[in-house]
Amino acid sequence: MNVLEMRQITKVYGTAPNEVRALDGVDFSVEPGHLVAVMGPSGSGKSTLLTIAGSLEEPTSGEVVVNGQPLGSMSRNERAALRRRTIGYVFQDFNLLPGLSAIENVSLPLELDGVGLRRARAAGRAALESLGLADRADHFPDQLSGGERQRVAIARAVVGERTLLLADEPSGALDSVSGEAVMRLIHDACQRGVAAVVVTHDAQLASWADRVVFIRDGRIVDQTSTSADVEAMLGRQRPGTPS
């Protein structure tokens, strides 16, 4: 079963004659353990795709299904619970709460979901440890470097039992080595079974994906083959090696 299934999604902002069709009949899905990158120019609809996938915004028409549950048939409270338990978000500007330490930021979604403080903090600590941030747990965001802040944001996105990770330009203004580190973390989360969607205009970040989807004017116009298809086509041969 796909973790995320978007069927015939259309999103229209405004009303005629000034309406803007941000998405126009988009079909999009992600399997467990897969990393899919969405590329497109500014205004192509890629960020709208992500916010609708994450239930932060509702489509004008079409259906979004997360882990087999159609969002359209859920109450507002049920959708909020789904967002807390199942979906992790990573934004370009990290969106960490400045008054909370790293561990508090990471464990907050669990605490909001009613998980006991001790259990939530233990899960938060485990997530920070897995990203090499154990010694930064008690630091506040302004005491962390840009790369560390983004790792905390990723820890927050994967803490607990999240199965869907949604990232919008996750390397932000980081340098290319730190950007690669961010993509390695997202890639590692996928190795553990998380499904991830990364929206980016950066081809280097997108190249970490199993599949790259291209969006233009609110429509998916093209995509690369999946990694399995490419491996099969190349007979597991790597580029540059003589045939």
230 binds other proteins (CB under 8 A): yes
Contact 149, 96 (CB under 8 A): yes
Backbone angles phi, psi at 6, to 5 degrees: -115, 125
Question: Contact with other proteins (CB under 8 A): which of 68, 99, 114, 242?
Answer: 242
The pattern of x and - marking residues 21 through 60 that bind other proteins according to CB under 8 A reads: ------------------x-x-------------------
Question: Contact with other proteins (CB under 8 A): which of 110, 206, 215, 220?
Answer: 206
129 binds other proteins (CB under 8 A): no
User: Closer CB to other proteins, residue 39 or residue 144?
Assistant: 39
190: left (phi over 0), alpha (psi -120 to 50) or beta: alpha
Q: CA-CA distance, 91 to 166, in Å (whole number)?
A: 9
* Count of chain residues binding other proteins (CB under 8 A): 26
225 binds other proteins (CB under 8 A): yes
User: Closer CB to other proteins, residue 118 or residue 236?
Assistant: 236
Q: CA-CA distance, 19 to 11, in Å (whole number)?
A: 10
- Least separation, in Å, of the C-beta of 151 and other proteins? 14
208 binds other proteins (CB under 8 A): yes
**Structure tokens given for 59:** 């489509």
Question: Contact with other proteins (CB under 8 A): which of 10, 60, 69, 224?
Answer: 224
Q: CA-CA distance, 82 to 78, in Å (whole number)?
A: 6
**Structure tokens given for 92:** 């370009």
Of 141, 142, 62, 51, the residue nearest 103 (C-alpha): 141
